[in-house]
Structure 1
Amino acid sequence: MARGINKVILVGNLGNDPEVKYTQGGMAITTLSLATTSVRKDRDGNQQEKTEWHRVKLFGKVGEIAGEYLRKGRQVYIEGRIEYGSYEKDGVKHYTTDIIGEDMQMLGGGGEGGRAEPRTERSERPSSRPPARQDSPRRDAPAAKASDFADDFADDDIPF
């Protein structure tokens, strides 16, 4: 029997700062509020915008990175799956829709006017958990261009 596909791709802006919590085992669970906006024209030719809000949950290392570097207003790419749930409160059944993010890419600038800086406060992190490493190289270094390597080898060095 063929398996189904449950895949969601979102590109939007954060509506607030990420909320990071940790399980007793030390795994990060980060919740984001992500806005996606679509534009269409109505019958009169006027542009109509519609904004959809998505609750996104990121787990583990991806959740830690999101909690460190994402801020309200920042544009982000999320790839994951949709998950429905329900719970009962005061005798009333409530339904939830979450996006379980499996991949996250930070896009654009740092949101409201600048580059996002790592958070320094970690009030929800258990004291037994070591702090995240801050000495790793940054990933946003400029990409090398083909012209940077043009003089590094001669045509005789090509094996074909």
Structure 2
Amino acid sequence: MARSLNKVLLIGNLGADPELRYTPSGVPVATFRIATNETWRDVDGNLQERTEWHTIVVWRKLAELSVDLLKKGSKVYIEGRLQTRTYEDKNGIRRSVTEIVADDIILLEPRSVTNETATQQKPAIQAGPPEEIPEPFLDDITKTETPPEEPGQKLDDEDDLPF
């Protein structure tokens, strides 16, 4: 039986605060980039360093929690899977992008406490069970401050929090 595995584990620092958007159907999605560094000595013994940037995508409550808990410079552990998708840019050119869809995020350093509710939150963030999500294109995601309301849909329930 043939098996396959698509698993990514990263430890790095956020290059900017996460950006929250909503799909047309109101599903929260956040994106951010993290930097990982590699150091080595070249043949002359000089220390070399290379920084690699990774785009992280998080969905639903994990997206909302990421925006609340993660800030530029935060050191995080990311666990997820690689996803490559194509889209057409504004000039009609077909582009391809590879991202990490995160399932788990762990904040690796203490964060400053700015309010009382922050002290009640734990640093580990986990996604719930995977659900079928249509893969969005960048143009399909709109940035808004609050998600559009859908009749009968509960958007925030403390009982559904993963911690």
- Which residue of structure 2 lines up, in the alignment, with residue 101 of structure 1? 102
Q: Quick one: structure 1 residues 98 and 6, their matched pair in 2 at CA, closer, same or farther if it must change by over 3 Å?
A: same
Q: 1:47-73 CA distances to partner (integer Å, 9 max, x unpaired)?
A: 111100000000112111111110000
Pick closer, same or farther for the CA change 1:83–1:74 going to 2, 3 Å: same
- Which segments of 5 or more consecutive residues in structure 2 lack a partner in the other structure? 119-143
Aligned length: 129
Using the aligned pairs only, state the percent identity.
39
Selected match of 1:126 from 147, 158, 161: 147
Distance 1:116 1:37 in 2: 29
Higher-Rg member (1/2) = 1
Tell me if the contact between 1:32 and 1:57 (Cα under 8 Å) persists in the aligned partners.
yes
Equivalent residue number for residue 71 of structure 1 = 71
- Larger relative CO (CA 8 A, sep 6+): 1 or 2? 2
Q: Give the CA deviation at 1:18.
A: 0.3
How large is the Cα RMSD of the aligned pairs?
2.5
When residues 79 and 94 of structure 1 are mapped into structure 2, their CA distance, relative to the original with a 3 A threshold, is same
Structure 2 equivalent of residue 21 of structure 1: 21
TM superposition score normalised by structure 1: 0.70
Distance 1:74 1:95, change over 3 A: same
Corresponding residue of 1:5:
5
TM-score (norm 2): 0.69
